[in-house]
Amino acid sequence: MASGILTLDLDAVTRNWTALSRMGDCETGAVVKADGYGTGAAQVARALARAGARSFFVALAHEGAALRRALGAGPSIHVLSGHMAGDADALRDHDLIPMLTGPDQVARHFEALPDHAFGVQLDTGMNRLGLKEAEWQALSDKVLAGKPALALMHLACADEPDHPMNARQLAVFHRMTDGLGLRRTAAATGGILLGKDYHFDLTRPGIGLYGAAPFVAGEPAVRLSLPVIQVRDVTEGETVGYSCGWIAPGSHRIATLAAGYADGIFRSLSGKATLWAGDTPCPLVGRVSMDLITVDVTHLPQVPDRLDLIGPHQTADDLAAVAGTIGYEILTALGPRYERRYSGGAA
């Protein structure tokens, strides 16, 4: 079978998690939403649980249900979209902690699952999710009486350490939560790097587990190798791919690889990306199509079975820079057709 191979180095993930843990004195959790940023939530979470992680976060209740099956009883699993309509059974059956996002969810949760653990999200200025200050004032007595497991805020500009929004949100979080005896979390990867003022009781790194920006000191953990399924020689003036997107300037050897935009290789990378044959760069030529890309391998003495799109010479962040996006989008777009392999992570 000639599918692309996505390899995740679970030891690198664990080392990244440990390095982020050591930046603070608090508990370090792990965010494994969107199937562990496209890499495999079950494998990432199991490796981190073995390394000592006890608190996990996902975006949706059904992601939480799958994660509970992977982890078994014990670790806490928080749902960042809170308690949405229709979620009660999944939250109860899989022992998930909804992070309530607003007054409507507080009402829904207290009505549907009055004795079930929950957390609360507080809006300190991002204006995406969470109770705003006035809503919190009105509801805090009721919420606190239910003994929330966690109070969460999210930073809008944590990847810009000098942005004044960081300190502003921190001050609002203190004003909303100081003296209430709440267990608190404020920092994703970027917030961890801002320093201990932002750490509170628990941090929530996601992207940093993969050694991607903003955790640029981390260790890249992902490799994506794409299979060469055909090689052909073209002569000057022949064209390659849709819209005749590339015209051979002379005699060239073109390799066709089995992955395309349906697999997360953005079409905007047409004519721009570089693949790697070991240490040798090979330019992508012509358009990215749905299932295939074409690569100039004229200069290779031998065409290997696979070329790397993400690997030692090109991180997800490097590829993101070429595509005009961020590493998060590159990773989470990695499609279901790749064979996922895991190295390391043994107990």
- Where on the chain is the footprint of ligand PLP (CB under 6 A)? 31, 33, 80, 154, 188-190, 204-208
Residue 153 or 259 having the CB closest to ligand PLP? 153
Quick one: which H or E segment has residue 3?
A: none
Query: 268: Cβ–Cβ under 8 A, 6 or more apart, which residues?
Result: 323, 324
Are β-strands 280-285 and 239-240 bridged in parallel, bridged antiparallel, or unpaired? unpaired
CB of 294 to ligand PLP, least distance (A): 33
CB of 169 to ligand PLP, least distance (A): 13
Query: 154: Cβ–Cβ under 8 A, 6 or more apart, which residues?
Result: 121, 126, 128, 129, 130, 186, 188
Of the candidates 142, 147, 196, 242, the residue annotated as catalytic is 242
Residue 106 or 292 having the CB closest to ligand PLP? 106
CB of 232 to ligand PLP, least distance (A): 41
Residue 223 to residue 214: CA distance in whole angstroms: 19
Query: 179: Cβ–Cβ under 8 A, 6 or more apart, which residues?
Result: none
Whether 33 sits among the annotated catalytic residues: the reply is yes
CB of 319 to ligand PLP, least distance (A): 17
End-to-end CA distance of the chain: 30
Residue 67 to residue 138: CA distance in whole angstroms: 34
Residue 154 or 252 having the CB closest to ligand PLP? 154
Residue 43 or 189 having the CB closest to ligand PLP? 189
Whether 242 sits among the annotated catalytic residues: the reply is yes
Q: Which residue is nearest to ligand PLP (CB)?
A: 206
| DSSP label of 223 | E
Of the candidates 33, 37, 210, 342, the residue annotated as catalytic is 33
Residues known to be catalytic? 33, 242
